[in-house]
Amino acid sequence: MNKHRESTGPADGQQVTLRGPAELADALPYLMGFYPNDSVVMVALHGGRGRFGGRLRLGIPQAPGEWGPVADQLAECLVSGSERREGRPDAILLFLCQDSPDGAGGQRTMERLRPFAQRLRTACGALDVPVLEALCISDGRYWSYCCPDARCCPDQGTPLAMPGTTVMAAAAAYAGVHVRGTLRDMEARLQPWRAPSAVSVQERALDEAGPSLVARMLDDRARQQVAAETLELARALMSRIAEAQPAPPALADAGDDQLIGPGEAAAVILGLQDRETRDKAAAWMEGPTAQSALRLWRTLARRCVGAYGEHAAAPLTLAGWVSWSTGDEPGARVALTLALRADPAYTFAQLLHRACNEGLDPEALRRCLREALTEEAGPQPPATGAPATGAAASGAVAGAVAGRAVAPRVRKARPLPSGGRRRGGVLRPAGTGQGAPPHGPVPPGAATRRRMREARRYGRRGTRTRR
């Protein structure tokens, strides 16, 4: 067993000293805010007493061939990120968390992941930052990859302490820190429905609402009315949710799903694909409306079913923003990660995810958002037929993050004389796209989804400005 001490608090505040791998394994959920199943977690240590610094989590790659490149990227990301915030780390803690499929093979899981742990240790060592401890947590037990002594770290592993019985649990309870369950549980609250009957009903509602709504959103004169209707309906749904009786998370989610009809969900989901409408909805980030807004965004994310999975990026990003704004940083990271999984090019999610990971104070972004929306509501109305400037809110967030993150790129393109468009360097005739089948009829709703994808990706026609 490696004898070392880690402090979980800042130097000028209350500190908790952890001794040995048992207390480190128990502290991990409190450090992350949830149980990081199927994850690799790396934690930076600073100073002679091993003060906890930045931490990094990633899902464990399924293919062993990916372990080497991933290990190099993770080590570089943690060290470089720590250098920007708190200075170069003096050491790193490593956790590999994965249960066996049948719940009875933790030792086999530990052995299977051993090459990945070794690759991570080598990658950190190549950057001159040693791995002080590397633990595998599986099926209620932990193993140390650094300790060869079977007397303290037996081959069969060591049982984890009972929840709530350790010094870290006591300190967390005193500080009001709560563990939100497993990562899988947190993701399940935001993932699309899977019941075939419910999926069919919701997807049909999206298909039916799409043609007329998308056509209006792509029209400069009608899009402002669509935005107003979307926000008005969202406010009504938030009021309906706020009136519901409090309940545990699982029951609350089921109750929220019952309160919103398929057509209502479809109208708001499609309306939020307009980035100016989404930016205005982001103003519900604090005060008594924040929790109702968060519940609404979660509900809408669950309704992005079937072929509309990419549409979940908007409500998931809003859910992440509200979570971060109200102090739930772990919940924000989970929602923003899922948003980027739904649409990796979603700029608003990229900015917020980067800002959250860089340790920015969300108040700076709240202030920018308030100022942008105040300016938008100023005395000078837009010219007749001209689009409103709601995208200024997203630009304000980009400006607040610009000092610590990469600002979004802007891409502009002029329409081609022939009426076609360029995509990926290839000239495509008008009316064709990458997703269109070469032969046969177009499935119902497919053309509408392509048009909506263009509206989501480029904002309003003619500007080609990325979100």
Asked if pLDDT for residue 125 goes beyond 90, the answer is yes
pLDDT: is 370 or 349 the higher one? 349
CA 303 to chain centre: 17
pLDDT at residue 66, as a whole number = 95
pLDDT interval class at 416 (50, 70, 90) = very low
Q: How far apart are CA 37 and CA 246, in angstroms?
A: 28
**368 within 8 A of 394, measured Cβ to Cβ:** no
Q: How far apart are CA 327 and CA 127, in angstroms?
A: 33
Q: How far apart are CA 154 and CA 287, in angstroms?
A: 52
pLDDT at residue 401, as a whole number = 58
pLDDT at residue 49, as a whole number = 81
pLDDT, tens only, 213-267:
988 988 888 999 999 999 999 999 999 999 987 777 778 899 999 999 999 999 9
Mean pLDDT to the nearest integer, 266-277: 94
Portion of the chain with pLDDT greater than 90, in percent:
46
pLDDT at residue 173, as a whole number = 67
- 223-242 and 262-271 helices cross at what angle (nearest 10)? 130
Q: How far apart are CA 453 and CA 210, in angstroms?
A: 12
User: Across all residues in the chain, what is the average pLDDT?
Assistant: 79
Give the residue among 133, 163, 178, 223 at the shortest CA–CA distance from 463.
223
121-130, 259-268, 361-370, 372-381: least confidently modelled range: 372-381
**354 within 8 A of 264, measured Cβ to Cβ:** no
Output the CA–CA distances (angstroms, integers) from residue 111 to 227, 351, 441, in the order listed: 55, 38, 52
Query: Quick check: helix, strand or coil at residue 5?
Result: strand
pLDDT at residue 454, as a whole number = 57
pLDDT interval class at 25 (50, 70, 90) = confident
Mean pLDDT to the nearest integer, 158-163: 80
pLDDT at residue 452, as a whole number = 60
Q: Phi/psi of residue 465, each to 5°? A: -95, 125
pLDDT interval class at 394 (50, 70, 90) = low
pLDDT at residue 450, as a whole number = 61
pLDDT interval class at 395 (50, 70, 90) = low
Please tell me which of 54-68, 95-109, 423-437 the model is most confident about, judged by mean pLDDT: 54-68
Asked if pLDDT for residue 405 goes beyond 50, the answer is no
Structure tokens at 190: 């935001």
Q: Phi/psi of residue 248, each to 5°? A: -60, 160
Cβ of 406: how many Cβ atoms within 10 Å? 11
Mean pLDDT to the nearest integer, 131-147: 93
Asked if pLDDT for residue 326 goes beyond 80, the answer is yes
pLDDT interval class at 413 (50, 70, 90) = very low
pLDDT, tens only, 279-323:
999 999 988 899 999 999 999 999 999 999 999 999 999 999 999
pLDDT, tens only, 80-90:
989 988 899 99
Mean pLDDT to the nearest integer, 416-437: 39
Bridge-based pairing of strands 91-97 and 51-59 is unpaired
**365 within 8 A of 353, measured Cβ to Cβ:** no
pTM recorded for the entire structure: 0.73
pLDDT: is 170 or 457 the higher one? 170
pLDDT, tens only, 448-457:
556 566 555 5
Structure tokens at 428: 């495509």
Asked if pLDDT for residue 375 goes beyond 80, the answer is no
C-alpha dihedral (139, 141, 146, 147), degrees to nearest 10 = -140
Asked if pLDDT for residue 128 goes beyond 80, the answer is yes
Mean pLDDT to the nearest integer, 360-385: 67
Query: Quick check: helix, strand or coil at residue 76?
Result: helix
pLDDT interval class at 389 (50, 70, 90) = very low
Structure tokens at 153: 């770290």
Portion of the chain with pLDDT greater than 70, in percent:
73
Q: Per 3-state DSSP, what percentage of the chain is helix, strand, and coil (rounded to 5)?
A: 50, 10, 40
Q: Which domains does the chain have, with CATH numbers?
A: 5-183 (3.40.140.10), 189-377+389-407+443-458 (no CATH)
pLDDT at residue 439, as a whole number = 43
Mean pLDDT to the nearest integer, 348-363: 87
